[in-house]
Chains A and B, each alone.
Chain A
Amino acid sequence: MERTEVRENQSLTNQEDSDEIYEDARIYMNIGPSHPATHGTLRVMVRLNGETIEKSISEMGYLHRGKEKIAENTTYHKFIPHTDRMNYCSALNNNVVYTMAVEKVMGLEVPERTKYVRTICCELARIIDHLICIGINAVDLGAFSFFLYGFHQREEAYTIIEKLCGARLTTSYSRVGGLGWAPPDDFLPALKAWIEKFEPVIDEMDRLLTTNKIWMDRTIGVGAFTKEQAMAFSFTGPCARASNINIDLRRDQPEPLLKYDEVEFDVPLGKNGDVYDRYLVRMEEIRQSVKILKQLAQKCPTEGPIWVEDKHVRIPEKDRTFNSMEALIHHFKFFMEGFNVPAGEAYTALEGPNGEFGFYVISRGGAKPWRMRVRAPSFYLYQSLDPMIKGQKIADLVASLGSINIIAGELDR
């Protein structure tokens, strides 16, 4: 490869000069599906000029499991575990959105206690998702301690979630028309104790990175996306708020879906839309979620029904199932055939940790959906990677990719 001679007193960091020097130094590189920096199964092909990215093509689909086709062949109840595994860092949230979407098509209204518990689930999911996103972003840039702190706090949160659902990661807690079971009696006190221990730790973790010179140098100005670009690319969630778009579906619903109208919280907004702003927005959202959880833990009723009145959508209790013929038949039909959802369609979207997570359910009557479309926020965020990193260095690609929080499970479904 021939190069023109390097002139003396040449500033090699100057962008304009690098075009001339590295005229023939174009490299095509594949940052393949198996790579530490591509979290999961993403692939980016880049055309490099030295270390500057001139053009990039991002590929996805390496985790396409055919969930939408599976949904057309399985009943609504049996699809709940599949929703866990979409945004697997915050599985509780996905369950809630899915069951609410089906309830909207059916026209069911769940009792108050269920709404409170579901809101608690969503906020808990938000906290753990943000911890893992920032943790992985930090690990890619070399800051290993935040990752370990974050994962330890995730383990503590897993203890709470295990108390509630029995599982750490793939929870499958919410049901169409209610919850799987009532939260145990020691759940709310344990939640309050966890919040008390968690609040000072967030401040400690904050001090690791926010005013850290290396972090700031590596993330300020990197991967910046203006407000107009973000609107054109359908950004939602923390990345949109970091680009100064004031959308938060918790607050912006025409009628309240969950109990967000009864708690007070602020919505952080960024200015420049770069990686540092996204990090700050996420840290502040963790704090706001803790604030919401504190209020909800006070307000959540400790007793009351958790299921809708309509008995068709729920499994009868075990003592009735084993003792009464009608309940046994109902139990059998529930699992073998599924409950009937009237014909109609609805699109329900809530504020997931990553953005607008929505389900577009089309039903033609019967026990299986006709079309179950999952609106995953990562899909629209990943699309923006190519314009975002144009002209930046490879190391900035790693930083930007981590800050967008792409979760391959929901990206490819």
Chain B
Amino acid sequence: MAKDGSPEFMTTRLDTIVNWARKNSLWPLPFGTSCCGIEMMAVLSADYDMARFGAEVVRFSPRQSDLLICAGTITLKMAPVLKNIYDQMSDPKWVMAFGVCTSSGGIYNSYSVLQGIDTIIPVDVYIPGCPPSPEGVLHGLIKLQKRIQSGEYSHRERARHQVKQQ
């Protein structure tokens, strides 16, 4: 409870179990556009298996997934599409910015590349690299899992919660 009486977050045993279930059964939406898409496919296939961490069920529909893996350069023509997809996903949802092009525009500082997807959607974990090595991706995924387990409200929900209080 915050000092003014507004509820912040409360962790109970139920939350622990729910978070444990959520982190170990992430259903990714692979939104792969360019070179990082190939590395993402490599992470999802046999040698570096993301299925070991529970992220096996790859669903290409935003209504059925909860982790948006945004891999590859997002251009200004593609940005509204990404926002559309993100808005269609239902809560709780997490976003992984895979590669430097999604984190900050990468090596492309030109007229048609979005300089980081966090300009249009909130991001939970950034994985740098061009393309990131698969070990780095798995490290990022584990970090995301720890974050889910800790029960931290993501900043969107906190922002939404604060808006509700006003």
Contact = CB atoms under 8 A, between A and B. Distances in A.
The reply, when asked whether chain A contacts chain B directly with Cβ atoms under 8 A, is: yes
Interface of A: 32-36, 40-41, 61-67, 69-70, 81-82, 84-85, 88-89, 132, 147-148, 151-152, 154-155, 168-170, 408-409, 412
Nearest to A70: B110
Contacts of A170: 35, 130-131
Contact of A408 (B34, B47, B82): B34
B77 interface: yes
Given A81-B107, A132-B38, A154-B42, 7 more contacts: A34-B31, A34-B60, A40-B32, A62-B78, A85-B35, A168-B131, A170-B131
Contact of A65 (B39, B42, B45, B110): B110
Contact of B81 (A34, A64, A132, A409): A34
B8 to A, nearest CB: 35
Given A32-B81, A62-B78, A64-B112, A155 B47 contact: yes
Contacts of A69: 110-111
Contacts of B85: 34
Interface of B: 31-35, 37-39, 41-42, 45-47, 60, 72-73, 75, 77-78, 81-82, 85, 107-108, 110-113, 130-131, 133
B32 A152 contact: no
A303 to B, nearest CB: 31
Of the listed residues A33, A61, A85, A152, the one surrounded by the most CB atoms of chain B closer than 10 A to its CB is A85
Of the listed residues B33, B82, B112, B113, the one surrounded by the most CB atoms of chain A closer than 10 A to its CB is B33
A82 B130 CA distance: 11
B108 A88 contact: no
B130 A148 contact: no
A193 B160 CA distance: 58
Nearest to B30: A36
A85 B60 contact: no
A151 B47 contact: yes
B45 A151 contact: yes
B34 A169 contact: no
Contact of B113 (A66, A82, A89, A151): A66
Contacts of B46: 148, 151-152, 155
A36 B60 CA distance: 6
Of the listed residues A32, A41, A70, the one surrounded by the most CB atoms of chain B closer than 10 A to its CB is A41
Contact of B47 (A67, A82, A147, A152): A152
Closest 8 CB pairs of A and B: A66-B110, A88-B35, A151-B45, A36-B60, A155-B47, A62-B78, A65-B108, A148-B46
Contacts of B110: 65-67, 69-70
B35 A61 contact: no
Contact of A169 (B75, B111, B131): B131
Contacts of A154: 42
A35 B33 CA distance: 11
Nearest to B134: A168
Nearest to A151: B45
